[in-house]
Amino acid sequence: MILIDSNILLRLASRSDPAHSLTSKAIQELRQQNETLCLVPQNLYEFWAVATRPLVNNGLGLTPLETVQEISGFKQMFILHADSPKLFDTWETLVAKYACSGKVSHDARLVADMVELKIPKLLTFNTTDFTRFSMIKLIHPQNLTSNLP
């Protein structure tokens, strides 16, 4: 199983993003490898926040209705897992153990979900944001598509 990071969802939704094609090819490659691609609610919360933010504020500028439609598509493309009842306890342990502060605490929540759901891999453009969490394997889309036409 592989968790799809929110930055992957944002690039899939933004057809004008320079990394849109790379992202689509990476998803296609993982499907050809018969990988199970997953989401957790945190991915969709983060997607919503950026998707509905104006373009001038580094968002996608989508309306709430457009964002609902994008999320509906993601829920068809990927398996959406519910949060584990132990998510908070695992998150709290991770942020304390790795001395997380600021935005990294959101990343720790994704990792906590991965730990609880036994999802060992994360597809992300932000590999450096997750390197402190040694219990997961990080996959950058570029590493999947370097041999594709």
Is residue 102 a part of any domain in this protein?
A: yes
pLDDT at 67 over 50: yes
Is residue 26 a part of any domain in this protein?
A: yes
Q: Are 2 and 38 in contact (CB under 8 A)?
A: yes
Residue 117 is predicted with a pLDDT of 96
Band the pLDDT of 120: cuts 50, 70, 90.
very high
Alpha-carbon torsion 84, 67, 139, 132, what sign? Answer: negative
106: three-class secondary structure by DSSP: helix
Residue 145 is predicted with a pLDDT of 64
Mean pLDDT, rounded, for 107-129? 96
pTM: 0.93
Is residue 39 a part of any domain in this protein?
A: yes
Mean of pLDDT over the chain: 94
Q: Are 15 and 23 in contact (CB under 8 A)?
A: no
Residue 37 is predicted with a pLDDT of 98
Domain housing 42: 2-144
Mean pLDDT, rounded, for 5-25? 95
Domain count within the chain: 1
Residue 52 and residue 67: Cα distance in Å, rounded? 7
Is residue 149 a part of any domain in this protein?
A: no
pLDDT at 149 over 50: no
Is residue 78 a part of any domain in this protein?
A: yes
CATH of the domain at 23: 3.40.50.1010
Residue 147 is predicted with a pLDDT of 54
pLDDT tens digits, 21-52: 999 999 999 999 999 999 999 999 999 999 99
Is residue 131 a part of any domain in this protein?
A: yes
Mean pLDDT, rounded, for 78-87? 96
Residue 146 is predicted with a pLDDT of 56
